[in-house]
Structure formats: C-alpha cells, structure tokens
Amino acid sequence: MPRVIQPAEFQGKRTTAIARWLLGKVLVRTTRAGRGEHVITEVEAYHTEADLACHAAKGRTKRTEVMYQPGGRWYVYLCYGVHEMLNLVTGPADHPAAVLIRGVEGIAGPGRLTKRLAIGRALNGTSATPESGLHLEDHGIVVARRQVKTGPRVGIDYAGEIWAAKPWRFRYEHSPTIMRRATNRRAAGR
C-alpha cells in the first residue's frame, strides 16, 4: 500500500543518502486536471554552503532562504530565465541542502519535468505534503544497488574541478518487472 512520505523524514540525514533513497519513490502531482504518479529515476545532491555548486555557497539570500528551512519543503527556482527546477530541501533548519529532481519515469531532464507536471515557483517554500499539490510516496519499489549509476552533477563546471567531479548524481535504469508490479499496485488502488 502506498505510504505518504512525511517532511520530517528528510531531516537529519546526509543529503547524498537521501538522494539515493529517493530513487524509486513516487512524485505525486495533484492539480484540477487530476492526480499523476511519477517514479523518480534521477536526482542530484547539493550539500551546504561548502559545496560550491550549491546555491547556498553564496550564503543566505532571498532566493536561498527556503534552503535554510527544515527539510521537506520544495525549492523551485528559475534556471537560465527559462526552466523551473524542482528541489527537495533536505537539511535540518539552518543547514542548507537540497536534492534536485532531474527525472521521472518517461520524462528526462529537470526543465521538461516541471513543464510537463505544471510545477512552478508558486510551489517554492511549500511543504511536500498532499495539501500543497506535490508530495512523495513510497510504493514499495526496491531499487537494487546494482541498478544505481552515479556520476558528476550536470552543468556545474563553474564550481571548480573538485566540486564538479563529486559523484552526487544518482540515476537508475528501472526493471520492467519492478515497474509492472508498481503499476499493477496503482491500478488496483493499493
């Protein structure tokens, strides 16, 4: 049976561990048009002011204020003046960290994801709960360690060689059996 993941579950754990854990979890978007469930397949971790690729590297600003809030909130920002980017804040209060949701099953790329799911900056700072219209669920999908690929984060060469090379991008190629089981469970209303 699907379980709603509570915002407090994202506090007090290492950002990279949360990023890896999010693979296979379900991003649920509810709008007037209905409810959509999307299995997360790719993420990137951004961890504190020390991480020169993290927006918080420049300190606390109006833009990054949400990253300093307790984990379990959405951080949505505009990238290159074109694409909205969806991040989940993961740190405890005053510990800025977030995970960028880069892809879900059938949608690759963070800009495409937010466009297809009608996710915009109106969600910035909202809690990752059903009431916000965007939350996470655990449908029991198990992502085996061998299915997870790690690598450097995308588009952060400006952060310098050390930070650009961190293997904090996590993605997986799903097994049709696992996905079929999850789809059947959703169809059965469980």
Position 188 pLDDT exceeds 60: no
CA dist 43 to 60, 108, 140, Å? 23, 11, 19
Position 152 pLDDT exceeds 70: yes
Distance CA 185, CA 11 (A): 29
| Angle value at C-alpha 161, between 156 and 163, nearest 5 degrees | 60
Q: What are phi and psi of 9, to 5 degrees?
A: -70, -10
Report the pLDDT averaged over residues 55-60. Answer: 94
Q: What is the pLDDT of residues 128-150, one digit of tens each?
A: 999 999 999 999 999 999 999 99
Choose the weakest-confidence range: 21-25, 78-82, 140-144.
78-82
SS3 22: helix
With 0-12 / 13-18 / 19 or more C-beta atoms within 10 angstroms meaning exposed / middle / buried, residue 62 is exposed
Q: Is residue 153 within 8 Å of 44, Cβ to Cβ?
A: yes
The pLDDT value given to residue 173: 76
Report the pLDDT averaged over residues 154-172. Answer: 95
Smallest CA-to-CA distance from 105 within 14, 38, 43, 152 is with 38
Q: What is the pLDDT of residues 87-138, one digit of tens each?
A: 999 989 999 999 999 999 999 999 999 999 999 999 999 999 999 999 999 9
CATH 3.40.50.10860 fits domain 3-173: no
Model confidence, pTM: 0.89
Domain residue ranges of the chain, discontinuous segments joined by +: 3-173
The pLDDT value given to residue 185: 46
